[in-house]
Chain A
Amino acid sequence: MIVAEGKPVEKILEMVAPFKKVLIAGCRGCVTVCLTGGEKEVGILASQIRMARSKDGNPIEILEQTEERQCDAEYNAKFLENVEQVDAIVSLACGIGIQYLGEKYPATPIFPGVNTLMLGANIDVGKWEERCMACGDCVLDKTGGICPITRCSKSLLNGPCGGSQYGKCEVSTPAKEDIPCGWQLIYDRLSALGQLDKMKEIIPSKNWLRAKGPRTYVREDLTLDRS
């Protein structure tokens, strides 16, 4: 799931400073699940901004609406009536949703109400951990099901660096709790699986060059010809 955190409200207040009527758009997908951009947070942010603007003697009117997913055009169509009434939109969806909703309504400025953080798992209420960085060429088969790109702080592909000590990554600091060394995790898992020989295989370096621009994904077998 995509995990996001709320943007500091002073930033959002700056973005909406010139406007008198704004829509806060929530998403019932990932950002509801990660407790950042669902109907509840929409209500909280709206209330906070209304009060902040009243205090500054510059009242603002805020509409609130939350729909299934902002990464699908059909759902974004549902915002039409409210978008038509406002000067700007603040979206609490992830970066995908924010852009995609903005594309639907190009005449209305759209602003991010969240910082999109990662692809992660919900460890427990209020705790998320990154597990995948969408590298586009998955190597989990070679690494015991543990992602070296994500779990190794340096995204090393062929074993730990010299900073791996007692199972911890050298990037750990007292402020940031002990970070397990990703390669130690991989080693432990492979050794439990009896597949340590997999460590010997050299994983070639990935092509991070995005010469082809933003990634797209097309399945010819599924694309629909509407002509």
Chain B
Amino acid sequence: MTITNIRIGIYLCDCDGKVSKNVDLSKVKTAIQSQAEFEYIREADVVCGTAEQEKVAAEIDKYSLNRLLIVGCNDPFITRKFVQLAEEKGINRYSVEFLDLSAVNSVEAAVSAINSRLGKLHLREQIGYEELAVTPDVLVIGSGSEAAAVAKAISKNQPVVRIDHETKKVVGVDGFPGNFTVRLLENGKTSKHSFGAIVLALGAQPQYDAAKYGGVNLDERTLSLSQFINADKNYAGKKISFVLGKADADSLLSFAAVLKSSLDLKGKGASEVDVIYDDMKVCADGLEQEYELARKKGVNFLKYDGEFQINSASDGATFQYREPFLPIEATRVAADYLVLAEDFVPVAATQELAEILDIRTGPGGWFQKDNVHFLPIKSNRAYILFVGSCHGPIHGTDLYNEIEAVVAEVSAFAKGKAQVPSLQPRVEAKKCAVCLTCYRCCPHHAIEIVHGDEYDNMYNSAARMNPLACQRCGICAGECPGKAIQLPLYSDQEVLFEVKQPAKIVAYACENSGFLASEFAKTLDPQLQKALQIVEVPCSGKIDVIYLLKALENGADGVMLLVCHKENCKYVWGNNRAEQRKERAQALLNQVGLGDRIEFVHVAANQGNQFNAAVKEMAEKIRQSGTNPGKVVK
């Protein structure tokens, strides 16, 4: 949707004197008035005050404004307030821009920052909302208690189908969130079903590892914890000793299971119950109470340290160990049954489902990569969610929190329709060569190839991004060899407009890391930012080779890419793509002797100092390479 009649209102807010102490706002106003295109401009002392808000509302009507540029601060409270006001007046949030002038200290700098924002507002396409029909039904995959719990919780809001992935298996998934088509195999027959969302609750698989217990094999009297639990025998009058801490060292699942079993045994008349442990882990909801209760009921808690020896005979088993607190050589516990904790490993179906669903596994083969940006329940695909131990053993409150989060997430489809802002990339069919590059590079499986007469190229086909699946990283746009893809709010036009007259150093900064670090860095060393221009991108994977070159061609001396740490890109591999593009761009510079002018920096949001250090390093690099001789004088 392009809007032909763009009417921009500019508000120059002094933020209660904060801005005018550095720059003369009336001079800024005069300068803008003489050069820029807009409908209305005025200064204000505190434009966020109630009286002012009413005035702004009236002005929106009076001048028929349909876009706003608020120059002043960037306070989230105030931006929210303005967005609300704008939306009440029918201007949607994507047509309102805020510009923070608090770090700017010259009229020229202020004017150029305003012009740059204004230009973007002019170029921006109008963003609408789409209402999509979705299937409320949710598929839960898993046979254990975790799957049962999440299915039950979801079923309060919308229909749920639970399958165990054994008797009924998922063999294929097509489509997108809200309308996944899942192929299920049962008794040798496949059938197709429609689901809005898919929840994986496979649980974890206990696995006995003899090596952890000095090579002891399981037998009649020495059992693994899961054997013990599954057998569910009558142990009245027997002595049971549990051994904890050798296996499953990182999770609480065994500790929780042992405490529960000890209490059960006590209740059912076992003669004695020991829990032999090295470190007692009770740091989850309710475990501490169970531990206290077990002690009260007479469960013996025995601490061991280091070496131990297990002997199993036909009438019982012994555990010999060193007591860390008593000055005795060895302690020997004899029991009717010795129960050994196991490790937890991903269930066999984890890898298979990962491939079928195009989602990823991480360390240890569990679902999901190790990445600070990933919320626990989220996979790389929207509305394919994890709950419970299938992404690493969890227990208690953590599990309930996940279930709650999943219920909230899938409830978006409960009413059979979903409203989304239309922010997914657009493909200009005329330019699409249907090369599949975007389709293959999208980390979120959000792209399909569609066919029809309306696609005016030689294939009558084009790539299309699904609004519910797309996470707006812009990686696809950065890859497209035909320049057919534009990401709303970050179109090539908008981004390249910002570097038309670049500062000495242009830093393309990922909004999840580099940009936040730059905001922090400003407060640490405001001087350093003078020769620096930050260009925000949604993900470093949006930084096109051409962005790097254009900044230099237009006169920057150096370009930086500020990206998330390795393995920590919010969009899976955006930072790796950015690094590959940096290598390419630097090679292109080297080929024509333009020197080392591109810096690639991994930085987290809280690393303001590292950010400043990197900027200094870039400045030094430029000092050595000299000013950019490749600048093209127009």
Are A47 and B549 interface neighbours, CB within 8 A?
yes
Are A10 and B591 interface neighbours, CB within 8 A?
yes
Closest to A10 in B: B591
Are A50 and B553 interface neighbours, CB within 8 A?
yes
Are A68 and B591 interface neighbours, CB within 8 A?
no
How extensive is the interface on chain B, given as a class? 20 to 34
* Interface residue A117 (Cβ < 8 Å from any Cβ of B): no
Of B457, B481, B550, B632, which one neighbours A40 at CB under 8 angstroms?
A: B481
Using a CB-CB cutoff of 8 Å, which residues 53-85 of chain A contact chain B? Answer: 54-55, 59, 66, 68-69
Closest to B434 in A: A33
Q: Which residues of B contact A36 (CB under 8 A)?
A: 481
Q: Which residues of B contact A13 (CB under 8 A)?
A: 592
Are A52 and B630 interface neighbours, CB within 8 A?
yes
**Chain B's nearest CB lies how many Å from the CB of A115?**
15
Of B434, B435, B480, B594, which one neighbours A51 at CB under 8 angstroms?
A: B594
Closest to B438 in A: A125
Q: Which residues of B contact A33 (CB under 8 A)?
A: 433-435, 481
* Interface residue A124 (Cβ < 8 Å from any Cβ of B): yes
Q: Which residues of B contact A122 (CB under 8 A)?
A: 435-436
Closest to A6 in B: B588
Closest to B593 in A: A55
Are B593 and A28 interface neighbours, CB within 8 A?
no
Q: Which residues of B contact A51 (CB under 8 A)?
A: 549, 552-553, 589, 592, 594, 630-632
Of A10, A29, A43, A59, which one neighbours B633 at CB under 8 angstroms?
A: A59
Among A49, A51, A59, the one with the most B-chain Cβ atoms within 10 Å of its Cβ is: A51
Q: Which residues of B contact A32 (CB under 8 A)?
A: 433, 435, 481-482
Are B440 and A47 interface neighbours, CB within 8 A?
no
Are B592 and A44 interface neighbours, CB within 8 A?
no
Q: A28-B431, A51-B549 are in contact. Are A38 and B629 (CB under 8 A)?
A: no
**Chain B's nearest CB lies how many Å from the CB of A30?**
9
Q: A54-B630, A54-B633 are in contact. Are A47 and B546 (CB under 8 A)?
A: yes
Among B436, B440, B632, the one with the most A-chain Cβ atoms within 10 Å of its Cβ is: B632
Question: A69 to B433, alpha carbons, bound, how many Å?
Answer: 11
Closest to A37 in B: B481
Q: Which residues of A contact B591 (CB under 8 A)?
A: 8-10, 48
**What is the interface size of chain A, counting residues whose CB is below 8 A from a CB of the partner?**
31
Using a CB-CB cutoff of 8 Å, which residues 434-487 of chain B contact chain A? Answer: 434-437, 440-441, 457-458, 479-484
Q: A54-B629, A68-B457, A125-B440 are in contact. Are A28 and B482 (CB under 8 A)?
A: yes
Question: A11 to B260, alpha carbons, bound, how many Å?
Answer: 76
Using a CB-CB cutoff of 8 Å, which residues 548-573 of chain B contact chain A? Answer: 549-550, 552-553
Among A36, A40, A69, the one with the most B-chain Cβ atoms within 10 Å of its Cβ is: A40
Q: Give the total number of A-B pairs whose CB atoms are below 8 A apart.
A: 97
Of A9, A40, A69, A124, which one neighbours B458 at CB under 8 angstroms?
A: A69
**Chain A's nearest CB lies how many Å from the CB of B5?**
30
**Chain B's nearest CB lies how many Å from the CB of A5?**
13
* Interface residue B163 (Cβ < 8 Å from any Cβ of A): no
* Interface residue B545 (Cβ < 8 Å from any Cβ of A): yes
* Interface residue A118 (Cβ < 8 Å from any Cβ of B): no
Closest to A51 in B: B630
Are B592 and A55 interface neighbours, CB within 8 A?
yes
Q: Which residues of A contact B631 (CB under 8 A)?
A: 51, 54
Q: Which residues of A contact B431 (CB under 8 A)?
A: 28, 39, 66
**Chain B's nearest CB lies how many Å from the CB of A147?**
23
**Chain B's nearest CB lies how many Å from the CB of A15?**
14
Are B593 and A39 interface neighbours, CB within 8 A?
no
* Interface residue A170 (Cβ < 8 Å from any Cβ of B): no
* Interface residue A41 (Cβ < 8 Å from any Cβ of B): yes
Among A32, A49, A52, the one with the most B-chain Cβ atoms within 10 Å of its Cβ is: A32
Using a CB-CB cutoff of 8 Å, which residues 581-617 of chain B contact chain A? Answer: 588-589, 591-594
Q: A35-B435, A51-B549, A51-B592 are in contact. Are A41 and B441 (CB under 8 A)?
A: no
Question: A32 to B552, alpha carbons, bound, how many Å?
Answer: 25
**Chain A's nearest CB lies how many Å from the CB of B537?**
17
Question: A98 to B18, alpha carbons, bound, how many Å?
Answer: 61
Are B481 and A38 interface neighbours, CB within 8 A?
yes
**Chain B's nearest CB lies how many Å from the CB of A31?**
9
**Chain A's nearest CB lies how many Å from the CB of B573?**
11
Q: Which residues of A contact B550 (CB under 8 A)?
A: 47
Are A48 and B458 interface neighbours, CB within 8 A?
no
Q: Which residues of B contact A54 (CB under 8 A)?
A: 629-633
Q: Which residues of A contact B594 (CB under 8 A)?
A: 51-52, 55
Q: What is A's interface to B at a CB cutoff of 8 Å?
A: 8-10, 13, 28-29, 32-33, 35-36, 38-41, 43-44, 47-52, 54-55, 59, 66, 68-69, 122, 124-125
Task: Kindly list 19 other residue pairs between chains A and B, CB separation below 8 angstroms, not including A33-B433, A44-B546.
Answer: A28-B431, A32-B433, A38-B433, A38-B483, A40-B480, A40-B544, A40-B546, A43-B483, A47-B546, A47-B553, A48-B549, A48-B591, A51-B549, A51-B553, A52-B592, A55-B630, A68-B457, A69-B458, A125-B440
Could you give 25 example pairs across A and B, Cβ below 8 Å?
Answer: A8-B591, A9-B588, A10-B591, A28-B433, A28-B457, A28-B482, A29-B433, A33-B433, A33-B481, A38-B482, A39-B481, A40-B481, A40-B545, A40-B546, A43-B483, A44-B546, A48-B549, A48-B588, A50-B632, A51-B553, A54-B631, A55-B592, A59-B633, A122-B436, A124-B440
Q: What is B's interface to A at a CB cutoff of 8 Å?
A: 431, 433-437, 440-441, 457-458, 479-484, 544-546, 549-550, 552-553, 588-589, 591-594, 629-633
Closest 8 CB pairs of A and B: A51-B630, A52-B592, A38-B481, A32-B433, A47-B549, A33-B435, A55-B629, A39-B483
